[in-house]
Chain A
Amino acid sequence: MSYRLTQNEADAVFAELLKKFDIYAPHRHVCAGRYSDDDIVKYDKVESLSDVEYKKKSDYPMKEVISPIQQALFYFTEDEYRESKVSSRPILIFARPCDINAQKIQARIYAGNGGFTDSYYERMKDRVKYILMDCEGGDDNCFCVSMHTNKTDNYSLAVKFHEDGSLFVKVKDQDFDNYFQEIKEIEFEPEFVNKNELKVTVPVIKDHETLNKLKAHPMWNEFNSRCISCGACTIACSTCTCFTTKDIIYGDNPEVGERRRIESSCQVDGYTTVAGGISYRKTAGEKMRFKMLHKFHDYKERFVDSDMCVGCGRCTARCPQFISITTTLDKMSKAIEEIEKGEV
């Protein structure tokens, strides 16, 4: 069932929802951008509909709500420990199809990969329901259609914000019917983007020999001088799941502290450092090669049905060096063509 809510009605429904749910949405932080006077849009707990930035795609992904950049896993005192606690309140997240689809990919890594379920991820994910946000084609970095992540039916409510403050809502999940009882029904179906300005064809690496030749291809050298290995692309990525853990000691007593999980990045120094101080991927080109092949080959090799990318384009948008992931994919395709023709 669908409704058109006036601004007052929408505010009232939101206030009702707040009684039961923690609600997260893209939120604009004025002047908190990389450059002076630029804003940043990231996911935050919101208290009213006016807190929701519905026009601009968030600079940082929705995944931060479910797998935050930093979280305490457990606390220890001498030989005892206890797990960190999270609220039991259910969560509602305003999200676009790319971010919702990204959770399918994240869930594969966190929950079940290698026969292990990450309970810290699971306990968050289980609380979440989605409010699908209307996406009017995204921006010029988006390529969700190419990645087949432009549509989703994983949502409880679908909304479209209107300029006049009114809100179109489709209620898909009957648990939410009672919030709209007083309101007259209308016809409204969420629309999905079916075309992006940017189109990408993910190259197919047909065998191991091609893969090895691609790894050795000179195309990666370009990044040694261009990429600064800051990791902004992976922090902005909707699907990246890498993290590291650190035991934090409270004060001067080494018996008391917490184990903390912090998001990590294959691009930053120290990511591949092992005992003895050896690093496997030292150059920016090697790190970029790892990221691209991990996303556009390795993941699919293991999980078959998709690549590890939803085409949100945030990596390209956040790269301070203007390295475009789609152009890099095109370069990969060209390199594979050369390899297949026997030119390299």
Chain B
Amino acid sequence: MNQDINIKTLQKNCFRQSKVPGVFLLQMRVPGGYVSAEMLEIVKHISETWGDGNFHFGTRQTFDVCGIKYQDVPAVNEYLEKYIKSVEEDVCGVDMDLIAGEKVGWNPKAGYPTIGARNITACIGNYHCVCGNVNTFELARKIEGIIFPSHYHIKINISGCPNDCNKAHLCDFGIIGVAEMEYHPDRCIGCGLCARTCEKGSTRVLTLNEETGKIEKDTCCCVGCGECARVCPASAWTRKEEKYYRVIIGGRTGRQTPRTGKMFLNWASEDVVLSVLKNWQNFSAWVMNYKPEYLHGGHLIDRAGYKKFKEIMLEGVKLNPECLVAEDIYWHETEYRSNFNVKPLSLHHTAGPQDKK
């Protein structure tokens, strides 16, 4: 079959190439992995009309419809208008006319304008989960308009608690809901259940002092999971009303140097997380000499170095008083090939604005 298809253009349009020439997979964004069930009707219609009748849950919580033929892409895009407007504009308040903050203008009949910033994933969070500390998909919806539409790549995973079921440790910018705990000794019956629970399932920061019958806490090592409040029979432990977040950066999978992310911020307020993320476009643009190319967010941090990342990401951010920032980060990577980073200088990547030569 003679087909002339610009797969790069289709990719930016969120259609992914398949093994079969001319057949594509559509990735529909689901910010925070949470959407009204009526959206399934749209997925069903696309799949049954233009796809192979099935759909796959994308690994980043997208609705992936397989088997879409190249010639049907315009029709699918036109039909997607309803979904994109509902999910992106109505639910997340995204301005679809902006790309990375610049006025470009969106043709609502032409589908997704960018694929760079990936779908924000989230666990169900405190909307449902007994362990969750924050409403994860509401946060995802607030972030969506900051990072999308944009050609700059970033993967954001949100977990409602430090159990990190949604793997904030394995993406560019992982966000974990943490609870600052308050202890009310006058309500404590000294049963020690919190201490046993912390020992068994968390960081062993609580001890029952047999002399006083009260709990002592090693505050510096508390991960803010909130398990003590969950198990206390007398509400002697409670969460503060304010919500806090831990930000883990630079985690990734991949063929070269997979690694677990490291802590960038701890006890950051929602405002801080959002204002830090507003600097992501600037940071990416700076690293790539103001030319967006397909490069994973974590690699951008490597190219710039953590200290440059920190400098740009914290620009204009007013940190809440509780917020702690990593002074430095020491990565621990899996080097599939030993001394992976040792190579001729000519193979080194550049970062930042390059002078014309």
Instruction: Tell me whether A29 and B238 are in contact (CB under 8 A).
Output: yes
Instruction: Tell me whether B235 and A42 are in contact (CB under 8 A).
Output: yes
Task: Given A230-B193, A264-B189, A269-B191, verify A235-B234 contact (CB < 8 Å).
Answer: yes
Q: Which of B128-136, B140-148, B348-356 contacts A (4 or more CB under 8 A)?
A: B128-136
Task: Given A37-B126, A262-B213, verify A70-B186 contact (CB < 8 Å).
Answer: yes
Instruction: Tell me whether A235 and B189 are in contact (CB under 8 A).
Output: yes
Q: What is the distance, in angstroms, from B135's C-beta to the closest C-beta of chain A?
A: 7
Q: Lowest 10 A-B CB distances belong to which pairs? A: A232-B233, A36-B126, A32-B238, A31-B241, A268-B191, A231-B233, A230-B233, A235-B234, A36-B133, A235-B233
Residue of A nearest to B182 (CB): A32
| B308 contacts partner chain A, Cβ-Cβ < 8 Å | no
| A248 contacts partner chain B, Cβ-Cβ < 8 Å | yes
Contact partners of B132 in chain A: CB under 8 A = 35-36
Contact partners of B188 in chain A: CB under 8 A = 69-70, 262
Kindly supply a per-residue 1/0 record for chain B positions 75-115, scoring 1 wherever the CB is within 8 Å of any chain A CB and 0 otherwise: 00000000000000000000000000000000000000000
18 new A-B contacts, CB < 8 A, other than A40-B235, A68-B186, A268-B193, are A31-B239, A34-B229, A34-B230, A35-B230, A36-B177, A36-B179, A42-B235, A59-B235, A60-B234, A69-B186, A69-B188, A70-B188, A230-B231, A235-B234, A246-B190, A263-B189, A264-B189, A268-B233
Q: Which residues of A230-261 are within 8 A (CB) of B?
A: 230-232, 235, 246, 248-249, 260
Q: Which of A33, A36, A230, A248 has the most CB of B within 10 A?
A: A36
Q: Which residues of A51-73 are within 8 A (CB) of B?
A: 59-60, 68-70
CA distance A42 to B186 in the complex (A): 14
Q: Which of A29, A36, A246, A265 contacts B213 (CB 8 A)?
A: A246
Q: Which residues of A255-305 are within 8 A (CB) of B?
A: 260, 262-265, 268-269
Chain B residues within CB distance 8 Å of chain A: 126, 130, 132-135, 160, 177, 179, 185-191, 193, 211-213, 226, 229-235, 238-241
Instruction: Tell me whether A35 and B126 are in contact (CB under 8 A).
Output: yes
Contact partners of A86 in chain B: CB under 8 A = none
Contact partners of B226 in chain A: CB under 8 A = 36
Q: What is the distance, in angstroms, from A12's C-beta to the closest C-beta of chain B?
A: 31
Contact partners of B241 in chain A: CB under 8 A = 30-32
Instruction: Tell me whether B187 and A69 are in contact (CB under 8 A).
Output: yes
Residue of B nearest to A70 (CB): B186
Contact partners of B240 in chain A: CB under 8 A = 31
Q: Which of A33, A42, A59, A70 has the most CB of B within 10 A?
A: A70
